[in-house]
Every structure is written in C-alpha cells, then in structure tokens.
A and B are shown apart, each in its own frame.
Chain A
Amino acid sequence: EPEVTQTPSHQVTQMGQEVILRCVPISNHLYFYWYRQILGQKVEFLVSFYNNEISEKSEIFDDQFSVERPDGSNFTLKIRSTKLEDSAMYFCASSEGGYMNTEAFFGQGTRLTVV
C-alpha cells in the first residue's frame, strides 16, 4: 500500500540552527501538507501546497518556515532558525486532490527536538 515517508524519524538540533525535514508524498497525489503536534496536544495545520506554490498557511507558518518541492518526489519543510518552542512532531501529509478528494494520508512523522 502506498505511504507517505518522512526522514529523519528524529532530529536533534541546537537552538538557532536551520533544519530541513523531508517527505516523500504518495506518487499520484497533488496536494501536500505539513502539520505539527506538540507532545500530547492537538495536530496543528502549518501549510498546504499545490502546483508548486503555497495554497494556505496558518499563523504559525511565519517567515522562519518555508516549503519546497525540489524535484518530482520530495517535499521539504525548512525552519531557518529553530527555537525551543519548535520542538514537536512534524507530520507531512498528502492527498489526491480535488474538492472532494481531500482524505489526507499522514507520514510517520519527524520528532524535532531543539536544545
């Protein structure tokens, strides 16, 4: 069964450093998302991406964040200068697309720890 894959599974970084989280969405999906989940809390929407541009973003997704689809398969989230409060599980998700086909398939997540 096709799945969304994320690497690395766990990333530890120093405060102020840049991190790039990587995702390979399901191959025929057109819409891509990043969510984050602080331990024990709800899943928070960060950004949606379609046709090589951001569709929507939340208030959390400020200038420190950026997304990119550098080639035909990868989808990345970059945090430019990490803060302690960026520590969370980051989930990538993808969906086929179309107004009705928005069932999101989530990856296993990358646990980011900022120290």
Chain B
Amino acid sequence: GQQVMQIPQYQHVQEGEDFTTYCNSSTTLSNIQWYKQRPGGHPVFLIQLVKSGEVKKQKRLTFQFGEAKKNSSLHITATQTTDVGTYFCAGRTGTYKYIFGTGTRLKVLA
C-alpha cells in the first residue's frame, strides 16, 4: 500500500542548531501538509504545500515540496526548546484522505 516515510526517526540537537526532517512517499501526492505534535498532545497543522517545487517559510521554519511531488522537507533554523515535539508530514492520496508519515521526534537540549 501507499507509504510515507520520514527520516530521521529521532533527532537530538543542541539549542541553536538547525534541524531537518525528510518525508518520502511511495506515490505522487496531490499535496502535502505538515503537523507538529507536542508530547501528550494532538497534531497541530503547520502548513500545506500544493505546487511542485513549492517553498514556504514561517519564521524559522522552511518547507519544501519536491519537483516530483513525492518528497518534502521541513527545516528549522536555530532550534529553540519550544520546537520540541514530533513532526509529521501528511500526504494527500485521495479526495479527502491523508496518509501520515512515520514522524520525526525532535528533542532540543538547552
């Protein structure tokens, strides 16, 4: 079946270091969304990317959608302790069906 994988599974960084998570789909996606889930919390929508090669920025976060619409990345510049959580990509594979990636758990050490 359709799979969306993320790497790395875990990442520990020192506060101030950069962080990147990569999302790869086995099939072409209509669009991709990114969510953040704090420990013990629920997924919170961050952004949606639709166009091939699209790049969007939100303050220290940069999101990119691959040219083939099968991969995406999230880059955080100068991490802060508030960035702690698990970051999930979610690829749209149907009209209203999203397949979540395996997630990358980020830990930021002060």
A, B bound: yes
Hey, which bits of chain A sit against chain B, CB under 8 A? 31, 33, 35, 42-45, 48, 50, 55-56, 58-59, 91, 95, 100, 102-109
Number of interface residues of B (CB under 8 A): 25
Q: A94 CB to closest chain B CB, in angstroms?
A: 11
Chain A residues within an 8 Å CB radius of B92: 102
B residues 69-104 touching A (CB-CB < 8 Å): 88, 90, 92, 94-103
**A43-B100 in contact (CB<8A):** yes
Task: Give the residue name and chain of the A residue nearest to B6 (CB).
Answer: A42
**A-side interface mostly:** strand
21 pairs of residues in contact across A and B, judged by CB atoms under 8 Å:
A33-B96, A42-B101, A42-B102, A42-B103, A43-B35, A43-B90, A43-B100, A45-B97, A45-B100, A48-B95, A50-B96, A55-B95, A56-B96, A91-B43, A102-B96, A103-B33, A104-B43, A104-B45, A104-B98, A108-B41, A109-B42
**A103-B42 in contact (CB<8A):** no
**B100-A42 in contact (CB<8A):** yes
A106–B102 Cα distance when bound, in Å, is 18
**B42-A106 in contact (CB<8A):** yes
Task: Give the residue name and chain of the B residue nearest to A104 (CB).
Answer: B45
Once A50-B96, A56-B94, A103-B33 are accepted as A-B contacts, the answer to whether A43 and B88 lie under 8 Å apart by CB is yes
Q: B24 CB to closest chain A CB, in angstroms?
A: 14
Chain A residues within an 8 Å CB radius of B96: 31, 33, 48, 50, 55-56, 95, 102
**A103-B94 in contact (CB<8A):** no
Chain A residues within an 8 Å CB radius of B95: 48, 55-56
